[in-house]
Structure 1
């Protein structure tokens, strides 16, 4: 096979005319080694691609995230801006692994949230939710101890960190209960919990709401300081658009989509605006235009800093698919990257600086988040359960007093012996006219055994009523005047003695005469028993 200059096969040449010859056109650029897309995404602190999330039924879904793409570089502060209800909190909860996307993929610190070894959720991420997710029965110190032990910190380390956070966030006494703090103080405690274990990725959902302006600036200064070395990454959402100028990158979010994702100064220059609010307004209007330009050769959600800067008058478009700002770009092989150290752009013919970083996560105990048998976690859970019960009177009464009351009521209502039960008695051994039933207790002879049995019945339980014949006694049971009836034959004692003497040789008449016949009202089995 012969390939002539320019790399085009010449069909006029025969394969038998000579060996294979390959001629490369020196004027064309050389092929460059490029990393895979997945490898590139794993180098970012957070990478979200084609994210869709909806709530409700499939017939009438409520779309919260719609084909959202997001990239957060390591060692940067990413400000996520948007109105309430645009999907910011849902996006953050998906990043930390608390919710799952319907479709799309998320990489956080090189791995997918929730997978084994990713460390997310876990100690690699510090998350401050929008709501106050704290135990009101805990004091500030107990709250810090609890979360510190959960993340495997030692007690001396927790105490040192606690003193720093108390001073930094201007918190009240560490013995104050969380439920007795104001709303702003509770949010600061929640912020302190996220900072406690010094995580690699810090996700803060509106941490500066209700905070003093001086303290707000102090918080921003601290966030800038911890991201300087490149080991810490911060994602922060806020309603204060102008304060997000201190972030390295901001993402403008509206209706579940990112309208733009770029450095604040770049957006201001690009749209010739004086404030980020004006930029947001322009992008919102552009998103709402149905007939916006869609024919440009755009790449979905490509960061402005990764494209060659064209002419100043080059048009900007918003793609309908993702809603992220893109630019027309030339077919140059050169890539513009931003130098984080001096803020300018360098041209390179290869890959970006730091592209040879390993994809393995730098987490020594990423699997410890799923190990609930560690000493610190066991200690934290025991303390939590004890304090919640000890400081909650209602729970204590429910746990201890309610079972005692149940036992007492059961014994009073059901467990006691019945009293006042009427018993119809027919005893033909006694004198019916006088109703006398003589009993001699000091002699051991078998006489008037029926009378002995009747007198052995407890008077507080049985009310004895005598009847002349069995028919009248049974009728009393049927009409509810008595709970039962018993019948003794006139020779009951003699027959019982003969039965004891004869044993198996007793005839049928002796057996019948020695029996005690009983009829009971079985409408109440407890009473009849």
Structure 2
């Protein structure tokens, strides 16, 4: 006993450590006078019980007191009610779950240890789920599993013919999804039998199978175990069909009630069927617990339990009660006085093998990819794509559609913008006719109309109004984006302003200026009009000076704009955003593609079945990487062709680095998709997670707005996001023409590579440990 339990009242069996023992200790303590010591000891009992069984909010799966021995070359029937732990125990046997304590040895080694073959080809596993690809034919399904187990195609075909006849399956060219429910169960059994494993684990293989075929299956199981070649562990709902098993283990509540041959159980418990044996053992397990109904009393009194001709039952006890539930009876609470009479039999298991494992070379640990596994996985992935050609065409064509929409919709100057103009130089007749006369040459007449002509050339629509208030009201009602007004002596004042020079009076300055009121609610349109109004005025002055044979430079502001070092003289937002949009399209489509493929396999049980067959998480990821990478190459090629050849986006750097960076970013998206599929349990959660990451990456990675314009608290985190450095790197290649030797470029490659390693590591760890 440890220091924490020192002083606690002892139990009849100090070797046990289950929750009932700790409850019993607590009950003894509650009957004693309440002191600090007893209260502390009661708390210890509660903590120990919670540690073993968990709380109501956080229950643990418990297999308590199990001592299971399966002799080689036998059929072992594992029976019990739903939820008693049968499937959990099988998961431990095949190495997909880990024990908190205890030992499991399968075929001479610990499940999951190097070289044990468990999980691996030494085991044939049929789960409760169908766990098959519906788009594959019967033959293709068996070829896939046969290749995993190292069989040749000829061997698979030979064994396929035999299994089709024995299991009464239709033609091998039938698709699995077109089979009936019973046929799919038999097809799942065939996949477990294809390679003649040493240990065959079947989780309810005969559900939905007619009695004649059920007997055929049992005859085959008896045949393959006859000479000790194969050992079978089988669970089933049909209890009495296990009469042909060599050994039966009856489970209830995570414990073994008995582990003997069927004949010994029937003889020992004087029962006509195995169902009666289980019911009697369940009643014996509940002896000493409270009985809450007269039905339970009748059930118990009607039984002739061995060693209990007239069981004395006490109905007044308030102890914790147990239940008989599940397939073998209604929920019946019962109890009796006295100790638990149905304890598991003492099984003397053979000695465990030594703890020392064989030594392996470094090459054994480095060779994590098996040729036959990769062949099967890659073939399976490509076959799935071929069978879903419509889906694949959509996946490949979607990025093309997105880049076309981007190039057609984003970055172009708005056209057809309406401006309300009040020109007091016009007569009433000219105003009514919406006509503003234009005089060419060196002619200082109606200069307001001459200026408006240059403004119209910038795709602006001019509408004339009589007063400034009318024009302003049009803008307020959203019918125009701005209002411009000219005074009645605008032309004379503009000429006088030039003639007077530095002595021009303020009144002339006022009349020589046009008044502009813009709707700046839309920044892009407001900024564009602000620019065009000024550019049109510069063009207007330059035209007059040329017509009057004067130097046009006189009308320019004293700033000389040379050719920009990088980029265009008039920036194009399409070119600015193109880098980030291209990377975002490839990244998130890769996320959707890989996460969807992995989740389909997980939810249908295919992933679990593959892991039990010996395929590792690394191999599964690599198989998806190979196939999805080829799809991504098609996507990338089409996106770049439409971007630079069809829509002629700017590219000043080397195309090679553009292609490599886009592919690396797509690969990063694939690994992020692996993380999502391993972290969540269904497509809805994966969609939420992908969408939840989409907007932050768009906003924070400098794709639509420079990082320099962000809040200071966001700048530092934004630099470490997956698309930030790669976007800046691609933008430097496209707009600046930089090569890989520039830090701004190669930092993008390095950052993306680091994220790939992070996502791959997380994915592998989740695949390895999430199932426990």
In the superposition, the TM-score normalised over structure 1's length comes to 0.63
3-state SS of 1:423 partner: strand
Distance across 1 between alignment mates of 2:210 and 2:366 = 38
CA distance in 1, matches of 2:513, 2:379: 68
Structure 1: distance between partners of 2:415 and 2:359? 74
Deviation of residue 127 (structure 1)?
1.2
Give, in angstroms, the shift of residue 251 of structure 1.
Answer: 0.6
1:213 Cα offset (Å): 3.9
> Whole-Å Cα distance in 2 between the matches of residues 412 and 325 of structure 1?
78
Does 2:481 match 1:483? yes
Distance of aligned partners of 1:207 and 1:479 in 2 relative to their CA distance in 1, 3 Å threshold: closer
Q: Secondary structure at the match of 1:69?
A: coil
Secondary structure of 1:71 counterpart: coil
Structure 1 residue 521: Cα displacement: 0.7
Equivalent positions of 1:327-366 (< 5 A) are none
Change (3 A) 1:241 1:56: same
* Cα offsets for 1:14-47 (capped at 9, x unmatched): xxxxxxxxxxxxxxxxxxxxxxxxxxxxxxxxxx
Higher share of residues assigned strand: 1
Q: How does 1:217-228 map to 2 (within 5 A)?
A: 217-228=215-226
Shift of 1:183: 1.5
In the alignment, is the contact (CA less than 8 A) between 2:288 and 2:339 conserved in 1? no
Aligned equivalents of 1:278 and 1:60: distance in 2? 34
CA 1:278/1:427 → structure 2, altered by over 3 Å: closer, same or farther? closer
Tell whether the 8 Å contact from 1:110 to 1:359 is kept in structure 2 after alignment: no
Is residue 230 of structure 2 the alignment partner of residue 210 of structure 1?
Answer: no
Change (3 A) 1:100 1:438: same
Which consecutive unaligned segments of at least 5 residues does structure 2 have?
Answer: 1-49, 290-305, 309-337, 529-772
State the 1:423 CA deviation. 1.1
- Per the TM alignment, residue 141 of structure 1 is displaced from its structure 2 partner at its CA by 1.3
Map of 2:420 onto structure 1? 424
Q: Distance in 1 between matches of 2:423 and 2:73?
A: 103
SS in structure 2 of the partner of residue 142 of structure 1:
helix
User: What is the rounded CA distance, in whole Å, between the counterparts of 2:204 and 2:492 in structure 1?
Assistant: 98
Deviation of 1:252 after TM superposition, in Å, equals: 1.5
On the 8 A contact 2:493/2:509 being kept in 1, the answer is no
Using the alignment, how far apart are the partners of 1:197 and 1:203 within structure 2?
13
Query: What displacement does 1:96 show?
Result: 2.3
* 2:248 match: 250
Q: Is the 8 A contact 1:446 1:497 kept in 2?
A: no
Give the aligned partner of residue 123 of structure 1. Answer: 121
Which structure would you say has the larger Rg?
Answer: 1
Q: How has the CA–CA distance of structure 1 residues 183 and 216 changed in structure 2, closer, same or farther, with 3 Å as cutoff? A: same
After superposition, the Cα gap between the structure-2 partners of 1:157 and 1:370, relative to the gap in structure 1 and judged at 3 Å, is farther
TM-score normalised by the chain length of structure 2 = 0.45
Structure 1: 5+ residue stretches without partners: 1-51, 292-312, 328-334, 338-351
8 Å CA contact 1:429–1:492 kept in 2: the answer is no
In structure 1, which of residues 85, 88, 103 is the aligned counterpart of residue 86 of structure 2?
Answer: 88
Q: 1:324 aligns with which of 344, 347, 371?
A: 344
Who is 1:267 aligned against? 265
Is 1:175 equivalent to 2:149 in the alignment?
Answer: no
Corresponding residue number in structure 2 for 1:279: 277
Aligned residues: 425
The secondary structure found in structure 2 opposite 1:127 is strand
Q: 1:98 to 1:357 in 2, by over 3 A?
A: closer
Q: Which moved more, 1:60-69 or 1:124-133?
A: 60-69
Structure 1 pair 57/97, CA: closer, same or farther in 2 (3 Å)?
Answer: farther
Offset at residue 186 of structure 1 (A): 0.7
Taking the aligned partners of 2:149 and 2:497, their CA distance within structure 1 comes to 82
Matches within 5 A, 1:395-414: 395=391, 399=395
Query: Residue 420 of structure 2 contacts residue 484 of structure 2 at CA under 8 Å; is this kept in 1?
Result: yes
Residues 280 and 398 of structure 1, relative CA distance in 2, 3 Å threshold = same
Deviation at 1:508, TM superposition (A): 11
**Residues 1:434 and 2:454 aligned together:** no
SS in 1 for 2:463: strand
1:12-411 paired onto structure 2 within 5 Å = 58-59=56-57, 61=59, 65-101=63-99, 104-273=102-271, 275-290=273-288, 320=340, 323-326=343-346, 373-391=369-387, 395=391, 399=395
How far does residue 140 in structure 1 lie from its aligned partner after superposition? 0.8
